Structure 1
Amino acid sequence: MRTQEDGRRAPFRPDRREQILLAAEQVLAEEGMAAVSVRAVAERAGLGASTLRYWFPSQDQLVTALARRQLHPHLEDRRISDPGVPAAERLLECLQQFVVTSDPEDLPSALDHWAVMVSLAVGPHATPLGRATYAGFVEAAAERVEGWLAVLVTEGALPAERVSLAVPALLTRVDGLALGMLRPASPLDVGTALDVLREDVAWVLRPPG
């Protein structure tokens, strides 16, 4: 049972989680991810640290939840629920958000940002904060891809048993394409990356048997 700072039982407040994440977003916007600590967020939310730790027992969990929250608004469902559009076209439209920005001129900076995030998660200079941030982005991306595939499952365009393999396969491909486009003098451009994704979509949606 959750307790307050004075040790008394505290009422269950599901809105507390939202309050904490909103406070974390404010700290992030004003001071950057490095400033998102349990203490700073609790103070901004007007809560005790023990109350915050009920919802997020560790700073890593708080940062991961915040990173997930940051990515979700940038991934649109587009026409995934429109049965009048071929399933492969709808899925490609959704997946291409990982490799194409709304403004092509922003692509280099977006790829650089992705590379820095990955290096802070798994590189020689990885940090707990970097790992937690990257984990949040990966979780959010997986949730969205799984959601897009679930729509196609309900339409009969995709066997349900294929989803568990398709999600990591597609996300691994997206990471590989991003890395490929970052290589100096790489022949991989956006058009080629989309062609590769189109082939992956065809593989995912191939008929059973």
Structure 2
Amino acid sequence: MVPQSEPSTRDRILIAAATMVSEDPGARLSVRAVAARAGVSTGSLRHFFPTQRALIDEVAAGITGLFASADVIEDTTVPAEDRLLACMQQVLAATGAGEQARHAWRHTLETYVGSEPSADAIATYLAFSAAGLRRTEHWLDVLEKEGVLPPGDNAQRAAYLNVVLDGLAIARALPTDAARIRSETDTLRYAISMLFTPHPHRRAASTHKADL
């Protein structure tokens, strides 16, 4: 058996911070608290993450990156719409279903809605929201560069897809049946198809130009 190497100091810090966030979305990721959890000095933490914001952003990017494999969107042997569907399904799968989803949403609502969130909780939420948007926008950038996705505002399109994901994630926490579970894929496919279908106004404008 090949012995597993110990996590680097940087990885230990990220693991400690990610664990704190998973236990409490509103946890204060202060330098002192994270360093103590990771078993490193505050100086070591500052070496890798000079500011609290840099640490939060890295943790958010790392956790959101775990929800979908980068290999999926880059597999050109699979049709573009199917790749995007698979990526979105991976993200939804990470939210769980039934009691798991209800627990996650209860925790989220208690942290951000049930009472006035702290500045630290707000900073963490915004970092995760931004990381999720960057992840989805990256998928679209990959497909657009391949020439399989029509050119467009990928930041806006990513925001649209993330709203769809949020809605479906909430639906997973509500009472459901087999029909709704099956319709989840249909909803995702419809949302994705909107990105690959030329907008009617743009199509009409192109037709008008061709007639001139």
TM-score of the two chains, using structure 2 as the length reference: 0.70
2:64 corresponds in structure 1 to 71
CA contact (8 A) 2:81 2:193 kept: yes
CA contact (8 A) 2:56 2:124 kept: yes
CA RMSD of aligned residues (A): 3.4
Name which of 15, 30, 38 aligns with 1:25: 15
Distance 1:116 1:52 in 2: 36
1:90 corresponds in structure 2 to 83
CA 143–50 in structure 1, closer or farther in 2 if over 3 Å, else same: closer
Show the 5 A alignment for 1:135-146.
135-146=126-137
Q: How many residues align?
A: 187
Distance 1:174 1:26 in 2: 27
1:124 corresponds in structure 2 to 114
Distance 1:74 1:51 in 2: 28
Q: Could you list the runs of 5+ residues in structure 1 that have no partner in the other structure?
A: 1-17
Distance 1:185 1:74 in 2: 23
Deviation at 1:75, TM superposition (A): 1.8
CA 50–83 in structure 1, closer or farther in 2 if over 3 Å, else same: closer
1:195 corresponds in structure 2 to 186
1:45 equivalenced with 2:35 (yes/no): no
Q: Equivalent pairs: percent with the same residue?
A: 25
CA 45–24 in structure 1, closer or farther in 2 if over 3 Å, else same: farther
Deviation at 1:167, TM superposition (A): 0.3
TM-score of the two chains, using structure 1 as the length reference: 0.71
CA 182–28 in structure 1, closer or farther in 2 if over 3 Å, else same: closer
Deviation at 1:101, TM superposition (A): 4.8
CA contact (8 A) 1:71 1:140 kept: yes
Name which of 140, 150, 153 aligns with 1:149: 140
Q: Which runs of 4+ in 1 moved over 6 A?
A: none
CA 113–52 in structure 1, closer or farther in 2 if over 3 Å, else same: farther
Distance 2:157 2:129 in 1: 15
